[in-house]
Amino acid sequence: MTEQPAQQPQLIKVKMKVGNVEFEIEGTVDQANEAVGKFLQTVTEKLREKAFIAESEAPTRGETCKTVIHRLWKEGWLAQPKGLSEVHDEMARRGYHYDRTAVAHALIDLVKDNVLYRKGEARRYQYVQKQPPS
């Protein structure tokens, strides 16, 4: 009976950029998952320590586009009229990178929910809080 060689685990390469920090990891899937998780945790903690981002601005997993915009409303960010591009840019600045169409749909949903008011003409709508957050 001949011995069969053990299969080598598949190696992967992961490249990521967080803010102005780039890193590259090569290893097995498990090793890469662990390393990326530790790296992101460390970067988030360091940014919070340096007060580069507020605790409330740190991206949280599983938040919908509508939830993020609703938070902007609660913070009073939508007290002044904002266009789609302004809302999209603010979300990206805070670490939420949604497609522009998703942002547009979420804004329309919040208009239907009587949270926001939409004024202006098609393709140039401005969104503003309908009522101040309680």
pLDDT value at residue 23: 76
> Which residues, at least 6 apart from 118, have a Cβ–Cβ distance to it below 8 Å?
107, 108, 111, 125, 126, 127
pLDDT for 6: 65
What is the reported pLDDT for 62? 65
Whole-prediction pTM? 0.55
The distance of Cα 68 from the centroid of its chain, to the nearest Å, equals 9
Give the residue from 93, 75, 86, 67 showing the smallest Cα distance to 126.
Answer: 86
> What's the confidence (pLDDT) of residue 31?
79
Residue 40 neighbours by CB distance under 10 Å: 14
CATH architecture of 59-129: Orthogonal Bundle (1.10)
pLDDT of residue 42: 76
Question: Residue 22's pLDDT is what?
Answer: 75
* pLDDT averaged per 10 residues in sequence order, the chain, 134 residues: 68 75 78 76 70 52 85 95 96 91 94 94 93 80
What are the extents of the domains in the chain? 11-55, 59-129
Q: What is the pLDDT of residue 88?
A: 96
For residue 47, the model assigns a pLDDT of 67
